[in-house]
Amino acid sequence: MKLNTNLLIGAALLGGGAYVAYHKGWFGLGKKLPPLDTALKANQEVLDKVAAEEAQRAAAASAAAKAATAIKQATTISNPKSYEGKVAYIQTNLGVAVDGKAGSQTNKAFAAIYGLDKGDISTANIDYYEARVKAKDTLAAKKAAAAVANAKNVAAVNLANDAAKFLKLVNEGNYKATLKNSVTANAFVYDNLKKAYVNVNEAAQFPKGIIFKKGDFATLPRGIYVLKRGANNKYFAISINDFLVTA
């Protein structure tokens, strides 16, 4: 903005009390100035414009400084919210050189430990890969979880009409059998003369959700039934289809 030089000189004169002399022509300029209040008003407008211009320059400088700082913070590995900072976090956990750049070394190490299921590390997938590192979602962890899930999916439906397999899993292995329904089971005792289990016409109730483990059953099945061990050498026949077998 171009300022009025005469008005600025006038402002200086006013500040020293010279306006009256100048107005009366004491300086030999041969003309009078406008009334005092008019000159003061004009002077103030110029000063206000000067102040506004300075304020604008200061605001622009401050905005530029903030923008520069923001750019610097957004691209530094010390800022955990920046792309470089997230790459640096991943690199630290991988045990590779930390420079905030997802190069060949970083991608190969990540592929070996976690698997690059969304392609090489980039700005498009950095949050996903960072979350996997924080969750320790490694390939080894996935494999172990899949094995556990597979073991837990061994259900009674897969054991239909195969009581021998049931006993192998529960009586000999580390699996457990959980009743899916409440059942009434007949009691049997082993007849040494007949070499067989004989129904003694007694019954017992077993509630839904009860769990049986290794050693709870006789070693031999009775058709699709397994014999739950009880007191006084009694065994209670329960269908294997009433159980859910899990790890």
Instruction: Please give the pLDDT value at position 157.
Output: 42
pLDDT confidence band for 106 (50 / 70 / 90): very high
* Sign of the Cα pseudo-torsion (71, 73, 77, 80, in order): negative
DSSP 209-243: T-EE-TTSB-SS-BTTEEEEE-STTEEEEEEGGGE
What pLDDT is attached to residue 16? 44
pLDDT at 4 over 90: no
Task: Label residue 17 by pLDDT band (50, 70, 90).
Answer: very low
Q: What is the pLDDT of residue 37?
A: 66
Percent of the chain with pLDDT over 70: 73
Question: φ and ψ at 66, to 5 degrees?
Answer: -65, -40
* pTM value > 0.75: no
Three-class SS state of 14: helix
Cβ(139)–Cβ(114) below 8 Å: yes
Domain residue extents for the chain: 5-70, 83-138, 156-246
Q: Are residues 201 and 165 in contact, defined by beta-carbon separation less than 8 angstroms? A: no
Rounded to the nearest integer, the mean pLDDT of the chain is 80
Report the pLDDT value the prediction gives residue 234, as an integer from 0 to 100.
92
DSSP string, 86-136: HHHHHHHHHTS--SS---HHHHHHHHHHT--TTSS--TTTHHHHHHHHHTT
Give how far Cα 108 sits from Cα of 87, 89, 91, 104, Å: 14, 16, 11, 6
42-88 residue pLDDT tens: 667 777 787 788 888 888 777 777 766 666 555 678 888 999 999 99
Q: pLDDT digits over 113-142, tens only?
A: 999 999 999 999 999 999 999 999 999 999
- Side chain identity, residue 174: N
Angstrom CA distances, 24 to 33, 43, 178, 190, stand at 8, 19, 114, 139
- State the average pLDDT over residues 187-213: 90
